[in-house]
Amino acid sequence: MAEFNSIKLKVKEGLIEDSRKGIVRINREDMEKLGADTGDVVGIKGSKVTAAKVYPSFSDIYGSPLIQMDGVIRHNAGVGIDGEVEVSKAAVKTAQKVVLSPMENSCEWTREDEDEVKSTLRGIPLICEDELSLTLFGNDRHDFLVSGTAPSGIVKVSRETDIVFVQPELVTAGSRITYEDIGGLDEQLQKIREIVELPLKYPDVFKKLGIEPPKGILLHGPPGTGKTLIARAVASETKAYFIHVNGPEIMNKFYGESEAKLRGVFKEAKSRVPSIIFLDELDSIAPRRENVHGEVEKRVVAQLLALMDGLESRGQVVVIGATNIPDSLDPALRRAGRFDREIAIMPPNKEGRLRILRIHTRCMPLDKDVKLDELAKITYGFVGSDLAALCKETGMTALRKILPKITEKNVIPSFKVSMDDFKNSLREIQPSSTREYYSEIPDVRWDDIGGLKKTKKVLQALVELPLHHPDLCQIYRFVPPKGILITGPSGTGKTMLANAAGNSARTNFIVINGLTLASHWKGEAERVLHDIFVKAKQTSPCILFFDELDGIVRFRTSGASNLKNGLISQLILEFDALEKIQGVTVLAATSRIDLIDSVLLREGRFEYILDLPLPTAAERESIFKIHSRGLPIDDEDVDFKKLAEKTGGMSGAQLAGICHRASFIAIMLSIKNGLKIKIDQNIFNQSIDEINNQKKLEGVIKTKFQH
């Protein structure tokens, strides 16, 4: 490195697109100082020496003496983020032989794997003692140590290079996790880095300030949001000794064993400072003592409290806890001096989902029609693990297409992952946080609903304005309604309207009915209702649809045994809790608005009430045409206008039933006559007569029931 000019640069995180490709980025003026062109190899010297290809940076670091490099290169250079490295242009030789030691013993590496590794490594500069993290065989990541090269120094792999695999004496489990592997959690990651990295890297600063660094961080949020991934990345980047403790592993039925295991973990951490203790599933170790009956759990909680109070190597031992049910933790843990900071790791927003999709598709052969930003828009409520599962399922979908083309010699034809593959996979993958409830985009469109033009327009605007025109809402200070109540006679299309709104908005759609909240236990229905609203907030934007609201909440009575009183009170509390939450819309449908408690029918709760009348003659005609689409209709004989005049007072559901019965009558006639019969006016008239007779029968039964 001495024969070229060198400059000192400050280290910054690398781009997702450059991760694990052996690329660093610096400013063009710094490249000119080095005498380097795009794609040239530079030597990077921190506490160790490594090499990488250099590319010009983008505008985010323009004019600053910075170098962007991923976690693998940072590790090979022996430097962390905000550290300083010396960079110079380097001479590179073509490697005759490269010796690689796999850093995991999950599989045996053979000569057949050489071509795959060689093609992945081609063009990446290597130096002995470098660690490599390669994506091989589709989307599998494997880590290697460069045990030797011939010739020595900085080399690059070519087609003629021999790759030799050597099993190392010491095998490390798992792959190195870097900050570039985490998407959509930049703000949370920055907070954790400030709390963890500063005390581990600069303990003397805290001594001079006369303050104690934080002892613990509590990460809480839904499963799959990246809590464990963050802890592993922080340990990897800070070079701290990492102890991963799964909560259930601590618990033991023998007296004193659980406490001894916990003491052993903290003793090991103190002997290997700087170290990080990661307590996964913390709620299983430290539940609320007033809620548990076993002595073991109470003793373990007390032991954990004592150990956290007795940490001597302050700042050099950091405890990170993770749980998805923080309210079940013992309150004694959640105070300053123990878990000093609590950081919520929530489902990512649209920008976060886009970053996660880029991470999981960076090694995929994507087709030109793949639009990751469009996928990020429609994957509301998806956490990181859901998006990872989506990408895996998409890869399998693309693989199924080429399976018949794979020959016996395992020659895989070239193929691309298309946008259709992603859309097909979306039918299989649902957000994990709402899987216990019916949550999917309905397949009902506005065109499938006849009539109700004004109502459809109002409902569509109320639901979609905040999503598609947030700037206008801000200018006019329009706050989207928390609740919309659709009422009207049975069969007028209330449920269809709600489904069409969910389809049009393309948001998560959760249906709640009486069975969802049915429970014989006091307080259980209220707990389920609260849980549903929590899920909706986590997966916002989301539509909660209460079908047959009058069956769930009715007028409150003075009777103490009336369980529905508690549901109404809980629903009021949930509405009021939505005050500061945007993106959750409550839709409800009822045919008996007179049974709904008036306390729900005011501003801040069900703010808009849309009344659906029975369809007019023109609307009945359009409904007939919608439900007759695709049927073998005798166009010359059937007059929909006459049918509409003949069916006055009927609801949309009854008109749909007429078309259904007409199909049945035509099928029976076709079987009887042995030929296909078109549906004519007589068949429709016969169907109308049957529906009228059914209405009369329903009236008789209703009269008898009332008497």
pLDDT tens readout for residues 345-395:
888 888 888 888 888 887 788 888 888 888 888 787 788 888 888 888 888
Query: In the prediction, which pLDDT does 137 show?
Result: 57
Class of domain 446-611: alpha beta
Q: Indicate if the pLDDT at residue 2 is higher than 50.
A: no
Topology annotation, domain 179-344: Rossmann fold (3.40.50)
Average pLDDT in the 538-563 region? 71
Query: In the prediction, which pLDDT does 592 show?
Result: 84
Q: Indicate if the pLDDT at residue 557 is higher than 80.
A: no
Q: Indicate if the pLDDT at residue 68 is higher than 60.
A: yes
Pick the CATH number of 617-705 from 1.10.3720.10, 1.10.8.60, 2.40.10.340, 3.40.50.1100: 1.10.8.60
Average pLDDT in the 34-48 region? 88
Q: Indicate if the pLDDT at residue 106 is higher than 60.
A: no
Query: In the prediction, which pLDDT does 81 show?
Result: 83
Nearest CA-CA partner of 608 in 445, 468, 442, 497: 497
Pick the CATH number of 6-91 from 3.40.228.10, 3.40.630.10, 2.40.40.20, 3.40.720.10: 2.40.40.20
Query: In the prediction, which pLDDT does 139 show?
Result: 59
Query: In the prediction, which pLDDT does 561 show?
Result: 45
Would you list the DSSP string of 508-546? EEEEE-TTTT--SSTTHHHHHHHHHHHHHHHT-SEEEEE
Q: What are the boundaries of each domain within the chain?
A: 6-91, 94-165, 179-344, 350-428, 446-611, 617-705
Q: Indicate if the pLDDT at residue 661 is higher than 80.
A: yes
8 A C-beta contact, residue 69 and residue 232? no
Query: In the prediction, which pLDDT does 173 show?
Result: 44
C-alpha span between 400 and 421 (Å, rounded):
10
Query: In the prediction, which pLDDT does 584 show?
Result: 84
Range in 89-98, 109-118, 287-296, 472-481 with the lowest mean pLDDT:
109-118
Residues whose CB is less than 8 angstroms from the CB of residue 258 and which lie 6 or more positions away in sequence, other chains included? 250, 251, 252, 296, 299, 300, 303
Average pLDDT in the 401-406 region? 73
Q: Indicate if the pLDDT at residue 558 is higher than 60.
A: no
- In CATH, the architecture of 350-428 is Orthogonal Bundle (1.10)
Mean pLDDT of the chain: 80
C-alpha span between 620 and 624 (Å, rounded):
6
CA 601 to chain centre: 34
C-alpha span between 88 and 647 (Å, rounded):
86
Query: In the prediction, which pLDDT does 105 show?
Result: 54
Tokens 């695709």, residue? 630
pLDDT tens readout for residues 206-215:
777 777 777 7
Pick the CATH number of 94-165 from 3.40.50.300, 3.90.550.10, 3.10.330.10, 3.40.640.10: 3.10.330.10
Average pLDDT in the 278-283 region? 86
pLDDT tens readout for residues 263-275:
888 888 888 877 8
Query: In the prediction, which pLDDT does 691 show?
Result: 82
Q: Indicate if the pLDDT at residue 311 is higher than 70.
A: no
Query: In the prediction, which pLDDT does 172 show?
Result: 46
Tokens 């298309």, residue? 418
Query: In the prediction, which pLDDT does 108 show?
Result: 58
Q: Indicate if the pLDDT at residue 403 is higher than 80.
A: no
pLDDT tens readout for residues 125-173:
888 888 887 776 555 677 788 888 888 888 888 888 888 877 654 444 4
Query: In the prediction, which pLDDT does 140 show?
Result: 64
Query: In the prediction, which pLDDT does 608 show?
Result: 87
Query: In the prediction, which pLDDT does 446 show?
Result: 83
Average pLDDT in the 554-583 region? 70
Which pTM value belongs to this model?
0.67
CA 488 to chain centre: 37
Query: In the prediction, which pLDDT does 434 show?
Result: 63
Query: In the prediction, which pLDDT does 341 show?
Result: 85
Query: In the prediction, which pLDDT does 292 show?
Result: 72
Helix residue ranges, H only, 67-163 = 71-77, 114-121
8 A C-beta contact, residue 401 and residue 415? yes
Query: In the prediction, which pLDDT does 1 show?
Result: 44
- Tell me the angle at which helices 350-361 and 384-402 cross, rounded to the nearest 10 degrees: 40
Decide if 179-344 and 446-611 have a common fold: yes
Average pLDDT in the 287-307 region? 79
Query: In the prediction, which pLDDT does 560 show?
Result: 42
Average pLDDT in the 613-618 region? 87
8 A C-beta contact, residue 567 and residue 597? no
